[in-house]
Structure 1
Amino acid sequence: MQFVDEASIIVEAGKGGNGCLSFRREKYVPKGGPDGGDGGHGGSVYLIGDDALNTLIDFKYQRFYKAQNGQPGQGRQMSGRAGEDLHIKVPVGTTVIDEDTLEVIADVTEIGQVVLVAQGGIRGLGNIHFKSSTNRAPRRTTPGTEGERRNLRFEMKVMADVGLLGLPNAGKSTLIRAVSAAKPKVANYPFTTLVPNLGVVKLGQHEHFVMADIPGLIEGASDGAGLGLRFLKHLTRTRLLFHVVDVAPFDESDPVEAAEAIVHELGQFSPTLAERPRWLVLNKLDLLPAEEREAVADEIVRRLGWDGPVFRVSAISGEGTDALVQAAHRWLTEQRRLENEDEEAAEHEREMRRRMEDEAVARTEARLGRKRKRDDEDDDDFDDDDYDVEVEYAP
């Protein structure tokens, strides 16, 4: 199935039904009073988080969603039937943005979470409501109001515990294949990974965590180069980052410069994401002579000035990967325990997520602002003469 993580749709709630103008007409009651009923409320539009979905592709083919209108009122004080609400299923991890105001309406992060995105119209009142001591036969009713209409933008971020960072061809996809059942495409050339991949790392019958692999970053990604910038947002929901470094690049480039470029691009994209705990994973040690491995790894760590956790692995052979995932599982378990027991730690995590969301909104505003500017410039270039055609008739 094609991976689609951004989509724009239009939602429209149902119109409220009009109130009824009616008078009681029965035998032996020649001058019955008003009995017009109210209209029905218009249906509203809701979003529901569904863990069975993992892409927004359906919204690429159907972009307009409308709830049912309320029915008009009837005589004998009968109210019109309310319009049925429309429930739209979206993947868990979807951020909902109003494209007109750039307001973040909701963040769907839980299974079954329900979010109101378009309020149904209010019902109209029948003439029975306007009877008074001075007006025994009112001919006044009110119409139902229009339902809310909104232009929405969905941005889906995968829900993972650990995210993989690195240059193209650093071995991230090989690593996720080695520790999980995920089978992303692997080849000996850059940009083999074109979309995010998720893998469930199982350490027992009931113990596991989710790892996310995104397309590799390149220098200048924060300015739009390569594929990584678009998919970096998927790492904002992770708790831990694995910075995968190729210690023996095929082009003989400097692994330290490559690692520093990734750190720079990460900070440019999101200063808060750059503050996330990050572990250094030195990969492809099997490509070095056995007697050189330790010295090369130590030199990379020294030049980077790295003082965090360091793991030396060979993803293709599996060497060192078990120790890596075991350590990650212990760390994640401890973090969850702290957040459950310590309100300050839980608030710190919430604050980081809020900051990353604010940064994401700022990026969205900037991107949409640039798009609107380009559209305005295109409109300014429009001229009625653009479509004038001079016809010359051949003799």
Structure 2
Amino acid sequence: MEKSNFVDQIRVFCRSGHGGAGSKHFMRTKFNAMAGPDGGDGGRGGHIILRGSKHQWTLLHLRYYKNVLAEDGEAGSGNNCTGRYGKDIFIDVPLGTVARDEETGKVEAEILEDGQEIIWLKGGRGGLGNANFATPTNQAPEHAQPGLPGVEGWKVLELKVLADVGLVGFPNAGKSTLLSVMTAAKPKIADYAFTTLTPQLGMVEYRDGRSFCMADLPGIIEGAAEGKGLGHRFLRHIERNPVLLFLIPADSPNHAEEFRILVNELEKYNPELLHKQFIIAISKSDMLDGELKEAISHELPPNIPHIFISSMTNQGIVELKDLLWKVLNEDITDKNK
């Protein structure tokens, strides 16, 4: 079986560096055997840092790194010398990556911008040397702090695809074919369900050198919100798309019911998805005449824009690009108000 190069979830054991211990040291000179405490502080343990990279599209490069262990800080030494800090570890991840704690499920970091750096697991603080504890009444402290331990545990990195438009529909609705027509992407296309098992991205070239990103996502089936089929693995990817393009084939027995099922699965997974911009595209429309198109239009919700397209004959493709560009820019304008 062919192994996919698109990896959107990784489980990894992480441990940040332990802090170095403070030094318990006393200065001795040629002329003064009791010159006082001069123990230096321990060095901080290494951080584990997530860094966004626009050149990464998948978590594949992390598949074989099951243990990420940062360097411990060095212990302090005499003459008030602070120990060397542990070396930080940088993990480059694609934009749209979410870091969670496996045990609690809590989101600990989220990478959305190229070059963005977030300290995911902080290294342990170095202990204070005995020079910090000298007082007029205790001029020779025998105490120095140990370094603090680092943070460790099993973590999960999840990738949620960042795209302007997400294609939503049942398996074999024609999403991959539409993506191949509108972009330079070459998704796998066949005449059976679940051809697309991983998200496919493509750039749609618009007028005057402008463009936007479209994602062909694995098809929804009824019960996806409960984990059936590709379930949650699919649904998490549409959380990032400001516009959802629902693709319903012209030969569907009930267009309105198919749209209702799709929306219902989104709502059960995350009700906030219903606040996104919706557009309905009736695919394979080259088999429809004007009368059938009018009948289908009366079935669909009146408050959601719809368009009839055919990827085989390019019918309505230019109009679809215009509609998507208009909705995307209206959405941006609304957010800036």
Instruction: Supply the distance in 2 between the matched residues of 1:268 and 1:30 (Cα, whole angstroms).
Output: 75
Distance 1:131 1:85, change over 3 A: same
| Distance in 2 of aligned mates of 1:151 and 1:162 | 33
Find the aligned partners of 2:20 and 2:66 in 1 and give their Cα distance: 25
Is 1:15 the counterpart of 2:18? The answer is yes
**Is the 1:123–1:144 Cα contact (8 Å) retained in structure 2?**
yes
8 A contact 2:15–2:152 mirrored in 1: yes
Partner of residue 213 from structure 1, selected from 177, 195, 216: 216
Per-residue CA distance 1:163-213 (angstroms, 9 max, x = gap): 111111111111111111111011111111111111110114531111111
Q: Is the Cα contact below 8 Å between 1:98 and 1:153 reproduced in 2?
A: yes
In the alignment, what sits opposite 1:300? 296
Q: What residue is the counterpart of 1:281 in the other structure?
A: 281
Q: Letter of the 1:264 partner, please give it.
A: N
- Give a deviation string over 1:33-80, Cα, whole Å, max 9, x none: 222222111122211111111112233311221222111111122121
Structure 1 residues 136, 217: closer, same or farther in 2, change over 3 A? closer
Identity over the aligned pairs, expressed in percent?
Answer: 39
Q: Which runs of 5+ in 2 are unaligned?
A: none
Which residue pairs with 2:225 in the alignment?
222
Paired position in structure 2 for 1:67:
70
1:322 to 308, 311, 318: 318
Larger displacement relative to structure 2 (253-262 or 147-156): 253-262
RMSD: 1.9
Aligned to 2:206: 203
Q: Within 5 Å, give how 1:174-185 maps onto structure 2.
A: 174-185=177-188
Structure scoring higher RCO (CA < 8 A, sep ≥ 6) equals: 2
What are the Cα deviations for residues 1-39 of structure 1, in whole angstroms up to 9, with x where unaligned? 611111222222211111112222222223332222221
Residues 179 and 322 in structure 1, CA contact (< 8 A), matched pair in contact too: no
The one-letter code of the counterpart of 1:266 is: L
Using a 3 Å threshold, how does the CA distance of structure 1 residues 196 and 135 change in structure 2: closer, same or farther?
same
Greater share of strand: 2
Name the structure 2 match of 1:332: 328
Contact 2:225–2:235 under 8 Å retained in 1: no
- Describe the SS at the equivalent of 1:236: helix
Partner of 2:259: 259
Q: How far apart are 1:214 and its partner, in Å?
A: 0.8
The residue aligned with 1:351 is: none
Shifted more, 54-63 versus 322-331: the winner is 54-63
Which AA in structure 2 matches 1:165? V
Q: Distance in 2 between matches of 1:14 and 1:59?
A: 20
Change (3 A) 1:133 1:278: closer
The structure 1 residue matched to 2:117, chosen from 114, 118, 124, is 114
- Contact kept, 8 Å, 1:164 with 1:211, in 2: the verdict is yes
Give the 5 Å matches for 1:157-176: 157-176=160-179
Query: 2: CA distance between counterparts of 1:228 and 1:296?
Result: 33
CA distance in 2, matches of 1:263, 1:34: 70
Match of 2:251 among 248, 251, 257: 248
Between structure 1 and structure 2, the one with the greater Rg is 1
The answer to whether residue 55 in structure 2 is matched with residue 52 in structure 1 is yes
Number of equivalenced pairs:
334
TM-score (norm 2): 0.92
Q: 2:268 maps to what in 1?
A: 268
Q: 1:68 to 1:294 in 2, by over 3 A?
A: same
More helix by percentage: 1
